[in-house]
């Protein structure tokens, strides 16, 4: 074999050996059988999810203040220890108005507290109508049977509500948890409007407060009962109530301490709210026959149907 052929064979052998070895710079990497998630982003997503996901509230559906032929109430069977509500947040007015299109009202700052006597002549503020039938239309016989209007104001201590009701017969013989089954006034109040603008369910920052102007007559004992949030259900003796009138027309003034809501009020704050009036014309039975409100499509369990309240000063 001549020299040239030998050199060629040696070169071929060396090349074959190099291709068979894992030389530096040529470490093979296996191809994964499925994509591997980015663990850093996965962990971040898990943290964010834990921060914004709220546990659903405990809701008990029992007879109450309603929209349909079946009454609805959201409450717990008995009062429990008070919890601190979420702090209120200032909402961008345009955004809040867009997402609470049912209606708007402004609460005027009252530099002098109103005299709590049931007469609202000294208020000098805007009166808003509450005449839209939202329950018991078959029992509602027109304006003389039930119609209302209200004024709303505030100072650093109280949220004030004054309500005038046209009612051909005043009937309120219930007490405690049953006061909605007689002539009564309901306030719905969403404390954390910014936190749940899009929430269609009640949660623990939504309040349902019902006022009895007087048991057995306007001059009788007055009561306030908190039906929601579920952690704070029970009678509220810190709510100041004054009323006057009787069959045909009655007026009520209500002072609700901001401490009930856990709010430190300030001008410009905005909240979800509704004012509704229940009617009973049957002295022989405690029953909610009809209800009128300041919002046509009122739904107790859907705060997005409530109106928008702004504190002005």
- Specify the number of domains making up the chain: 1
135: domain CATH number is 2.60.40.1190
> Tens of pLDDT along 163-203?
999 999 999 999 999 999 999 999 999 999 888 888 899 99
> Tens of pLDDT along 270-287?
999 999 999 999 999 999
Q: What pLDDT band is residue 1 in, cutting at 50, 70 and 90? A: low
Report H helices in the chain.
Answer: 3-19, 39-52, 93-99, 258-261
Distance in angstroms (rounded) separating the CA atoms of residues 280 and 276: 14
Closest alpha carbon to 148 in 134, 166, 174: 166
- Domain assignment of residue 274, yes or no: yes
- Domain assignment of residue 182, yes or no: yes
H/E stretch holding 151 reads strand 147-154
Query: Which DSSP state fits 65?
Result: S
- Domain assignment of residue 60, yes or no: no
- Domain assignment of residue 233, yes or no: yes
Q: Which domain holds residue 180?
A: 80-312
* pLDDT reported for residue 197: 84
- Domain assignment of residue 39, yes or no: no
> Tens of pLDDT along 198-247?
889 999 999 999 999 999 999 999 999 999 999 999 999 999 999 999 99
- Domain assignment of residue 135, yes or no: yes
Closest alpha carbon to 152 in 250, 10, 273, 298: 273
- Domain assignment of residue 209, yes or no: yes
User: CA triplet 121, 123, 128: central angle to 5 degrees?
Assistant: 95
- Domain assignment of residue 227, yes or no: yes
């Amino acid at each position: 074999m001549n020299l040239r052929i030998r050199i060629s064979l040696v070169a071929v052998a060396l090349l074959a050996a190099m291709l068979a070895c894992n030389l530096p710079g040529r470490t093979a990497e296996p191809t994964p059988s499925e994509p591997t998630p980015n663990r850093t982003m996965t962990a971040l997503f898990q943290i964010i999810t834990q921060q914004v996901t709220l546990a659903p509230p405990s809701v008990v559906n029992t007879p109450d203040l309603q929209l349909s032929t079946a009454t609805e109430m959201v409450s717990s069977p008995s009062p429990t220890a008070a919890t601190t509500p979420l702090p209120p947040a200032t909402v961008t007015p345009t955004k809040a108005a867009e997402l609470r299109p049912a209606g708007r009202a402004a609460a005027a700052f009252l530099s002098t507290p109103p005299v709590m006597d049931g007469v609202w002549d000294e208020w000098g503020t805007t009166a808003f109508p509450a005449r839209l039938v939202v329950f018991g239309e078959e029992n509602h016989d027109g304006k003389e049977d039930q119609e209302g209007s209200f004024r709303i104001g505030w100072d650093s201590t109280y949220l004030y509500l004054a309500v005038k009701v046209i009612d051909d017969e005043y009937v309120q013989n219930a007490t405690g948890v049953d006061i909605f089954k007689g002539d009564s006034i309901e306030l719905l109040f969403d404390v954390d409007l910014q936190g749940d603008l899009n929430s269609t369910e009640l949660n623990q920052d939504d309040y349902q407060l019902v006022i009895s102007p007087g048991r057995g007559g306007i001059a009788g004992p007055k009561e306030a009962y908190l039906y929601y949030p579920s952690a704070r259900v029970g009678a509220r003796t810190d709510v100041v109530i004054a009323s006057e009138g009787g069959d045909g027309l009655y007026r009520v003034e209500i002072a609700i301490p901001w401490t009930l809501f856990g709010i430190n009020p300030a001008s410009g704050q905005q909240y979800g709210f509704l004012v509704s009036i229940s009617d009973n014309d049957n002295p022989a039975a405690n029953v909610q026959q009809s209800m009128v409100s300041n919002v046509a499509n009122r739904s107790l369990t859907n705060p997005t149907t409530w109106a928008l309240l702004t504190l002005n000063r």
